[in-house]
Structure 1
């Protein structure tokens, strides 16, 4: 089996942040951190800046709203024009409720799909799940994973850069 990466276990959030900073300085751009609760400053230490979920949400809302308005306009004006009570064929106030609802629906669907895709989900099996100690990530331990897919990965080098932080566990994870 090939190496998937190196897993380090730490007892405190401060140790995890220090390890993440050190990994980032060593050139690990895709390091992953796991903790039982949100850790302030961890995203910055890993080099996480912004994501594109808000942009995808905006675009999903715009597309949904525009498509709904166009569908109503096309149906009422060109495809099946019916004069109801002398109102104009393009009576935009009657188009607003459906347009608003589908705008919200389009934005919500785009937000969920983009969030899942950017998080790499659904991921039903991950090599980290095979490490017996990894279940502590949901209770009281902090883990840093350095993936072998990073261009700078070397198992010995990864051990060396983390050695003075005294990790509780150092384990090479196989794919």
Structure 2
């Protein structure tokens, strides 16, 4: 959310009640900003499960295949050594490196994909200019209604948030809709 309407709440319970009520009134593009994880917030916002694990899976499998292939190429094909009757292609010996390459590839891909999906790093956002928003990292709970939400009508939304117990209501970003 880069611009829209923000509302400050004192407790996580009040924020969760307000989110549930806003969703029942037709608001769909909601976001929440909290100083710590709040149980039930994802369900209240209607968030879907992250696609990160399915995006990272092919990279992990490619890392495993690459690690195994390099070991096979070096030990069985390019530089075979017959020491004590050991075969050049010994799959049990390749398991540790294959596992480590799987973990390494998944971790690196997961980190990069997570940054891309979350559009980080975002060093500045119009939301940061809202007075009092810095308390979202200390002791306050904020709800944001994205300006692109079709249900967002300025005076009605401000009144709805105030009626739901918001301590403060402010606009972030460009001109009001």
- Measure the CA separation in 2 of the matches of 1:83 and 1:159: 76
Residues 64-110 of structure 1: CA deviation (Å, up to 9, x unaligned)? 111211232234444x1423324333222332221111111122223
* Counterpart in the other structure of 1:84: 82
* Counterpart in the other structure of 1:159: 158
- 1:163 shift after superposition: 3.1
The ranges of structure 1 where at least 4 consecutive aligned residues each deviate by more than 6 angstroms after the TM superposition are none
Number of equivalent positions: 172
5 Å-filtered alignment, 1:1-175, equals 4-78=3-77, 80-85=78-83, 86-175=85-174
Taking structure 1 as the reference length, the TM-score comes to: 0.83
Unaligned runs of 5+ in 1: none
After superposition, the Cα gap between the structure-2 partners of 1:136 and 1:97, relative to the gap in structure 1 and judged at 3 Å, is: same
Taking structure 2 as the reference length, the TM-score comes to: 0.83
Unaligned runs of 5+ in 2: none
Residues 105-148 of structure 1: CA deviation (Å, up to 9, x unaligned)? 12222332333333332111111111121011122211101111
Give the 3-state SS of the residue equivalent to 1:112 in structure 2. helix
